[in-house]
A and B are shown apart, each in its own frame.
Chain A
Amino acid sequence: MNVFLFLTFAGIAVACAVNLLVQRHPISSAISLIGVMGSLAVLYLLLGAEFIAAIQVIVYAGAIMVLFVFVIMLLNAGEEERTRRSKLARVLGFPLFAALLSQIVWVVYRPFASGPGVEFGGFVGSTEALGRALFRDYVVPFEVTSVLILVAIVGAVVLARKEIE
């Protein structure tokens, strides 16, 4: 059952990711990205990380992508136009892509090559444990990150504000 669910949702994630690139309308691409996020959440759930799965949906699919869709709707962006692709990209594109992909696979696979690998439900860490880790053991990095984000927001407001004469 777990394997079946994993294959289904991994397949959906990849299909949505490919669809994201193929679609020409920004809204279609954005919705495909939501599909990717949703399937990833299911994969987290299969690993037993239910809190991360819920946060994945709430933050990425629910909040960030809503802003994306919002902006696309506000700007009323139309369909993209396809330019004729450059010759260099046509020749080198696929080999470079394959090289990058194999590198990623190698880096991700290396830690698991000798060990038992990942198991379904193998993630140990309840919501409580995560909270403890975040707000006790790693509280300084956590707070520094939040200040960083705050600075980014203030910066965006300053940049976007019109000068009042």
Chain B
Amino acid sequence: MSFWLLSVIKALVVLAVLLFTLIYIQWVERKVIARIQRRFGPHRVGAHGLLQPLADVLKLLTKEDLTPPHANRFFFVLAPFLSVALALISIAVIPFGGEIEIFGIRTTAQLTDVNIGLLFIFAVTSLGVYGIALGGWASNNKYALLGALRSSAQMISYELSLSLGVVGALLLAGSLSLRHIVDQQAGYYFGFLPRWNVFQGPWPQLLGFLVYLTAAFAETNRVPFDLPEAETELVAGFHTEYSSMKFAMFFMAEYANMITVSCLATVLFLGGWHPPLPQAWGLQYAPAPVLGLVAAMLLYHAGGAPAGKQRLSMQIFGALVGLAGLAFLWAPVRQLFSPLFWFAAKSGFFLFLYIWVRGTLPRFRYDQLMNFGWKYLFPIGICNVLATGLMVALWG
């Protein structure tokens, strides 16, 4: 098959999965946070509120698109487009799995393997600041401007720590290609401890991982670093004046960034698509019982649910998950989807962590945020780089 056709098909598949995750991560977030706060969350539109995201999209599409007077019209429109485009681009270099073969066509489960993949992602995220800064400035609103300024300062400060956290993993791999970084994390110590970068010798990247994770929360403007949109002091921060589809675009950009950062954490520190235990232990059979367990739980709880659409939907989803589990017993499906299963499981864990943290931690004060970034996170990152460099030079 020609290169172009294959690329287009792969791009469409990745885009479809990304947008689906983008929409439903919001449903998951609202449900989980509701449970943390002992509420039910959305449950009116569709069974369990499953159609709530679609209703939200419809609402945003049909709302009036306001442009405030005295706003700089060009930049006001440009900012959300810039945000969402830059947020969606970086998924292109993330490797989701090894080589796969479908209908006799061999390809990699990745859109493009750039030999500077990591730098590409940093280049794109460093441009992401403009969407927020321009949006806040062009709104001609003091709260929006303050939010934009805070956000720019915060993103510049934490980008440094983010890069420093990653450098350790780079030193261990000796390459900027994300695929190469994952390949180099294959294998196991003592037959059971995975050679993921968080465990890998000569200097395990636990510190670098924590620095990266903390900086990533700040970089995506999420709780506890969501000062740019601190509603108690700044109304809604940089997107105060945005409504309708333009607001939805900022929203999409935030969640797309979250997904990218989670995927990157998986790739850089948790061994990408490599399973947590050796294949010889039967790990390739693990997805089937895991999915089977989920299906059994869904079907069990369906018995206790009130009759009607709630019970019906739980039965349907239980059956679907059960079928997916059964499909994993079939060798071709297992080989194709096992790496994707592990990748999705690890990235899903990070996405859940985002939601979990949002449900439990309060917001930082602005001076605390800056102090923390420059006086703790940054020196820790530098120490980690120095230690890793020394260890790699001595024993690498």
A positions within 8 Å CB-CB of B: 25, 27, 31, 34, 50-51, 53-55, 57-58, 61-63, 66-67, 69-70, 73-74, 126-127
Contacts and interface: CB of A to CB of B under 8 A. Distances in A.
Interface in B122-167: 122-123, 126-127, 129-130, 133-134, 137, 145, 148-149, 152-153, 156, 159
B148 A62 contact: no
Given A66-B156, A127-B176, A73 B137 contact: yes
B40 to A, nearest CB: 43
A74 B153 CA distance: 12
Contact of A50 (B75, B116, B122, B156): B116
Nearest to B174: A128
Given A50-B116, A54-B116, A70 B149 contact: yes
12 contacts: A50-B115, A57-B126, A61-B123, A61-B126, A62-B126, A62-B159, A66-B156, A70-B149, A73-B137, A73-B148, A73-B149, A126-B115
Contacts of B134: 27, 31, 69
Contacts of B149: 70, 73-74
Could you say which interface size class chain B belongs to?
A: 20 to 34
A86 to B, nearest CB: 31
Given A50-B115, A54-B116, A63 B126 contact: yes
Contacts of B153: 70
Nearest to B74: A28
Contacts of A70: 133, 149, 152-153
B114 A62 contact: no
Nearest to B176: A127
A80 B220 CA distance: 35
A67 B159 CA distance: 14
B145 to A, nearest CB: 7
A66 B145 CA distance: 15
Contacts of A25: 72
B133 A69 contact: yes
Most chain B Cβ neighbours within 10 Å, of A54, A61, A67, A73: A54
Contacts of A126: 115
Most chain A Cβ neighbours within 10 Å, of B114, B120, B153: B120
Most chain B Cβ neighbours within 10 Å, of A50, A58, A126, A127: A58
A54 B123 contact: yes
B114 to A, nearest CB: 7
B378 to A, nearest CB: 15
Contacts, number: 65
Contacts of A57: 123, 126-127
Complex A-B, nearest 8 residue pairs according to Cβ-Cβ distance, in ascending order: A62-B126, A54-B119, A57-B123, A50-B116, A73-B137, A58-B123, A54-B116, A54-B123
A55 B114 CA distance: 15
Given A27-B72, A53-B116, A66-B156, 19 more contacts: A27-B75, A27-B137, A34-B130, A50-B116, A54-B123, A57-B126, A57-B127, A61-B127, A62-B122, A62-B123, A66-B129, A66-B130, A67-B156, A69-B133, A69-B134, A73-B133, A74-B149, A127-B116, A127-B176
A62 to B, nearest CB: 3
A51 B116 contact: yes
A12 to B, nearest CB: 16
A51 B123 CA distance: 11
B17 to A, nearest CB: 27
Contacts of A51: 116, 119
A126 B149 CA distance: 37
Contacts of B176: 127
Given A74-B149, A127-B176, A54 B130 contact: no
Given A61-B127, A70-B152, A73-B149, A50 B114 contact: yes
Contacts of A53: 116
B119 A55 contact: yes
A9 B200 CA distance: 43
A16 B176 CA distance: 31
Contacts of B72: 25, 27
B122 A73 contact: no
Contacts of A58: 119, 122-123, 126
B178 to A, nearest CB: 13
A48 to B, nearest CB: 11
